[in-house]
Amino acid sequence: MTRWILTAEADKIQHLVFRSSKLRDVVGGSQLLTDFCADATRTIPDQDRIVADGGSFTLLFDTEDDAVAFGRQLAQQYYIKTGSTLTVAKPTPWSGKDPDFQAANKAARQALAQAKREGRPAAGIAQGPHMAFCASCGVGLAETHRVLVEGETAQYVCPVCQAKAQKRSEKHHRFLLDLEQAVVGDRFREFDSPTTPDELAKGWDAHQYVAYLVADGNSMGRVFGKCSTPGALRDLSKGLKDVVLASLAAPTRTLLGRAPFDADQHLIPVLPLILGGDDVFVLLPAAYALDFAREFCLQYEQQMAARLQELGLTGLHPTMSAAVVICKSAYPHTLVHKRGEALLKQAKRLSKAVAQRDGPNHQHSIVNFEVILGSRLSHDFGADAKYRNTLAPYWVVAPTATVPEHRGLSLEVLLQQRLTLAGRPIPQRRLMQLRALFEPKALPDDTVRTSGAWNAALGRLQARVSRNANDLEILEGVLKALGGASDDWYYCDRPGPGSEEVFSGHGLPDLIRVWDFSWKLDQDRSVYAARED
């Protein structure tokens, strides 16, 4: 019996989620999307509801007319509930036999991609002589004038922002409850999640710095394309959420034990903003952010590999790409996410290029990062520079694995060098002098390197930093681990889009950039803080 596969996907999900001025409403937007996926497909039998999460749908119907009618209804409901659009592909026929499902599913996904490329016809904008725009998102037309959050003044709000605020105000609602339960189990009622970046930063960082983690699984299209039956695809889709939650919960439990005494001891120090499939956007304390990202990637690799083995999907090596953006708590979360997506794209491009050149077994998880100082980025080097003051992105490798030669360094190496220097205080002015030596204008060129002027300047600065011979030896060891001592820089030969990216880089400037944000989760904060006061 021929059946029909209907695929659909929400358009511009990030616009829906971030179309709010308050961070708490971002959480409400994610919950709104999660609830819509569940409610809109409630009438579909479980065995025919293959994927219905994160704004993506793969559903089975007995007739093409039924599929078309449901798709039309789904798009209308989505617009009414969210004010946004949803792309529905033309239904794809499937013989109903398991051996033919993999090809039919691939055709259905291609039909969805084609529908997205075609787009939608232009539509008129609602106008009227008397109207008000929403005070929260500034985009939608206001429906009412009311108080969204207790203690705040009344404001004009659109239906979507009103729905987001309602979802976010629910105590221990499902979107946050899942992570809370994964972290503390049955004790979840004793804990709560932060509502603002300021609340999270309190006690954790005296300068009110926070971190945002943006992450996305690598080659997930290939993973889902391996599913040869509807049941396998359905189980993989449902299991993906559990894998991501468990991968977040593991480092969060450790982080909870690192909470300073002046922080709220009953506050889960990680706030998920987007959890849709393998798409992740979370807020967390800045000090442990890089090691949190590293541990999250490793947990994902292990747990996803185990889940794929359970489903009989072999020959796959699941990995994760992540980006960490560190900024002041008042920095707009929409700009953070935009920057995080750019860093994530860079990391995914490198991971994919290395896998294509060196083989899929050489694909590893990867972490990119940036620190936003005031209104500017701390990372600055010429795209075509021969000598660069960075080795980012950094790889995440298991203890038994190695980074491909000349592809860069592992994040563990960077974090370990920070730990090595934790017991040997380096004055802030010396750190700034070291950093200045690696500024783009100060980096060596062939002429300077031949004369040895730059190496001599580094040698003089090393002597000032190191108080004794032992400290000098340790600093030289750190320099070598992060790129080579003196004139022996780390040689990078990275495959890029359409060409090779060859340069000499050093990780010391990266370490200085994230000096206060590179603590290891297995180390108490006193190891870093007390010895450097």
Q: What is the enclosing helix (H) or strand (E) of 109? A: helix 101-118
Q: State the pLDDT confidence band at 472, using cuts at 50, 70 and 90.
A: confident
With a cut of 70, say whether residue 149 has pLDDT above it: no
Sign, CA dihedral 164-274-112-311, equals: negative
Higher pLDDT residue, 300 or 432?
A: 300
Contacts of 133 (CB under 8 A, 6+ apart): 139, 140, 141, 142, 156, 158
Percentage of the residues of the chain whose pLDDT score is greater than 90: 34
Q: Which residue has the tokens 């992570």?
A: 179
- Predicted pLDDT of residue 410: 92
With a cut of 60, say whether residue 485 has pLDDT above it: no
Average pLDDT score over residue span 22-41: 81
With a cut of 60, say whether residue 482 has pLDDT above it: yes
Question: How many whole angstroms separate alpha carbon 259 and alpha carbon 244?
Answer: 23
Q: What mean pLDDT, rounded, does the chain reach?
A: 83
Contacts of 17 (CB under 8 A, 6+ apart): 26, 29, 30, 33, 273, 274
* Residue 233 buriedness (CB in 10 A; 0-12 / 13-18 / 19+): buried
Higher pLDDT residue, 175 or 474?
A: 474
Percentage of the residues of the chain whose pLDDT score is greater than 70: 86
- Predicted pLDDT of residue 111: 92
Contacts 24+ apart (CB under 8 A), 30-33: 30/175, 30/272, 30/273, 30/274, 30/275, 30/276, 31/164, 31/167, 31/168, 31/170, 31/173, 31/174, 31/175, 32/81, 32/82, 32/160, 32/163, 32/164, 32/167, 33/82, 33/276
Reading the block at residue 230, the tokens are 């509807």
Q: State the pLDDT confidence band at 341, using cuts at 50, 70 and 90.
A: very high
- Predicted pLDDT of residue 532: 42
C-beta neighbour count of 138 within 10 angstroms:
12
In degrees and rounded to multiples of 5, residue 344 shows phi and psi of -65, -40
Give CA separation, 149 vs 25, 125, 137, 166, in Å. 10, 29, 15, 9
| Cα-based angle 44, 46, 47 (whole degrees, multiple of 5) | 105
Reading the block at residue 273, the tokens are 């903003």
> Distance between terminal CA atoms of the chain?
73
Q: State the pLDDT confidence band at 151, using cuts at 50, 70 and 90.
A: low
Q: Are 12 and 29 in contact (CB under 8 A)?
A: no
Reading the block at residue 128, the tokens are 């009227």
Q: Estimate to the nearest angstrom the gap between the alpha carbon of 47 and the chain centroid.
A: 31
Contacts of 23 (CB under 8 A, 6+ apart): 195, 196, 197, 273, 283, 333
Q: Do the domains 174-378 and 3-118 match in fold?
A: yes
With a cut of 50, say whether residue 530 has pLDDT above it: no
Fold held by 174-378: Alpha-Beta Plaits (3.30.70)
With a cut of 70, say whether residue 497 has pLDDT above it: no
Higher pLDDT residue, 26 or 516?
A: 516
- Predicted pLDDT of residue 129: 54
Q: State the pLDDT confidence band at 424, using cuts at 50, 70 and 90.
A: low
- Predicted pLDDT of residue 13: 81
Average pLDDT score over residue span 203-215: 93
Question: How many whole angstroms separate alpha carbon 318 and alpha carbon 220?
Answer: 8
Q: Estimate to the nearest angstrom the gap between the alpha carbon of 14 and the chain centroid.
A: 13
Q: State the pLDDT confidence band at 82, using cuts at 50, 70 and 90.
A: confident
Question: How many whole angstroms separate alpha carbon 78 and alpha carbon 478?
Answer: 54
Higher pLDDT residue, 480 or 403?
A: 480
**For 3-118, which CATH superfamily applies?**
Reverse transcriptase/Diguanylate cyclase domain (3.30.70.270)
43-47, 136-140, 397-401: range with highest mean pLDDT: 43-47
Q: Rounded to a whole number, what is the largest CA-CA distance in the chain?
A: 81
Q: Label residue 55 left, alpha or beta by phi (over 0 means left) and psi (-120 to 50 means alpha).
A: left
Question: How many whole angstroms separate alpha carbon 9 and alpha carbon 221?
Answer: 14
- Predicted pLDDT of residue 79: 86
Q: Are 332 and 476 in contact (CB under 8 A)?
A: no
- Predicted pLDDT of residue 171: 47
In degrees and rounded to multiples of 5, residue 85 shows phi and psi of -105, 160
Question: How many whole angstroms separate alpha carbon 210 and alpha carbon 233?
Answer: 37
Q: What pairs with residue 492 in β-bridges?
A: 503
Which range (66-80, 340-354, 385-399) has the least confidence? 385-399
> Which residue ranges make up each domain of the chain?
3-118, 174-378, 383-533
Q: State the pLDDT confidence band at 169, using cuts at 50, 70 and 90.
A: low
Question: How many whole angstroms separate alpha carbon 82 and alpha carbon 96?
Answer: 34
Residue type, position 99, single letter = P
With a cut of 60, say whether residue 383 has pLDDT above it: no
Which range (81-95, 161-175, 253-267) has the least confidence? 161-175
Q: State the pLDDT confidence band at 192, using cuts at 50, 70 and 90.
A: confident
Q: Are 212 and 323 in contact (CB under 8 A)?
A: no
Question: How many whole angstroms separate alpha carbon 409 and alpha carbon 391?
Answer: 7
Q: What radius of gyration, in Å, describes the C-alpha atoms of the chain?
A: 25
C-beta neighbour count of 113 within 10 angstroms:
14
With a cut of 80, say whether residue 326 has pLDDT above it: yes
- DSSP assigned state of 210: E
